[in-house]
Chains A and B, each alone.
Chain A
């Protein structure tokens, strides 16, 4: 890892993808690994220890996102962002099962959604308990409502942890 501490303002463009997501930087040190292009968040205590270590590290604190041509947010972001109530799609019980098996979502798997979704948005997919199952890409807008076909493309789901 080639780590550098970054000013949270440098990642303000993340807010254009998930509005307000950089609020999760609050009270944390934001670290960027130039090799893996990964962003980690560390508490001040963890960062203090990290700065004293003389050995390369593999992981620090919380994995936030991977920044490439596209940005891939991690499960921490999904979990915290689901509490914001924004850009959210809620799935049925059957939809939960499908989504966790890497499937896309059609109308019958969606029970509700927030009113701020535009086509192409990254959305947090949750179950009825507001537990974040992962991220999807919306193929619909809240204004138009949901019709037939694929409505949310699966980007990341917690079924990952069965496979890994």
Chain B
């Protein structure tokens, strides 16, 4: 099982996860549990559940939300059901539902989603805002915009403006935002259960390359936020270089303040010490989802305020 991974990666995981190393590797070898997020702007939770259960789907509530459910049994692909086509739910990794919940936008907010495709988080934000306020959803990849637009239409999100742009270059966009979601491009090394091909592709130098991109995106987010505005930063990486170190940069170099997570009780704390070095204590306010806890992808998130 371990021979499928490059040695440097196994050493990293041992270093980061210590006694939980075997659990992480085991989780990477299992099929991850999917979830559905019921679109409460279109359908009631109970109605959607009863229709899906009548078709043989087995669903179990996640601990952090009453409209998100683990998909425990799927008699046929759930994305072929009429309920899916009607936009009654979105299929996704359970951990990826956390950033919009943590950002918690209100109905009056102007929100920026800096890396929006394929739209799972954009449409979740729209749902939380009850289709009010405005979301500006940005993606630099033109090809990925079709899936974003299709999901916006399927889910009935009505408050979204889509831009094809590089979020590092939005200085002249003309508005400042109350809240920003940055689910940053990353090495995705936390998704190896879903994307086993990454095991062979991942390289040591990926972490530094992505960190450079992530820092420039966080800097852009700082400039685009109103004073007092909130940024939720997330990745599907296990690497502290892409997670805690980026947050440390945001606090120490840019002047963000790190806030505690309201969903913190459901997940692990950020790392304050890694690869033999001690880092800022405040990093414990960040959150990590280890893949074996809920059989999801590994995930990281942090909430920052522009002071």
Contacts and interface: CB of A to CB of B under 8 A. Distances in A.
Nearest to B47: A129
Contacts of B148: 59
Nearest to B131: A43
Contacts of B146: 164
A53 B85 contact: no
Interface stretch (A12-20, A71-79, A136-144): A71-79
A50 B85 contact: no
B162 interface: yes
B52 interface: no
B161 A50 contact: yes
A102 interface: no
A58 B149 contact: yes
Contacts, number: 92
| Secondary structure of the A contact surface, majority rule | mixed
B149 A158 contact: no
A62 B82 CA distance: 21
Given A45-B132, A49-B134, A54-B174, A79 B159 contact: no
Interface of A: 41, 43, 45-46, 48-50, 52-63, 74-76, 79, 96, 100, 127, 131, 133, 158-162, 164
Interface of B: 79-80, 82, 84-87, 110, 132-134, 136, 145-150, 152-154, 156, 158-165, 170, 172-175
6 contacts: A43-B159, A49-B110, A49-B136, A54-B174, A76-B153, A164-B147
B86 A158 contact: yes
Contacts of B110: 49
Most chain B CB neighbours (cut-off 10 Å) among A41, A55, A76 = A55
B80 A59 contact: no
A41 B136 CA distance: 16
Contacts of B173: 53-55
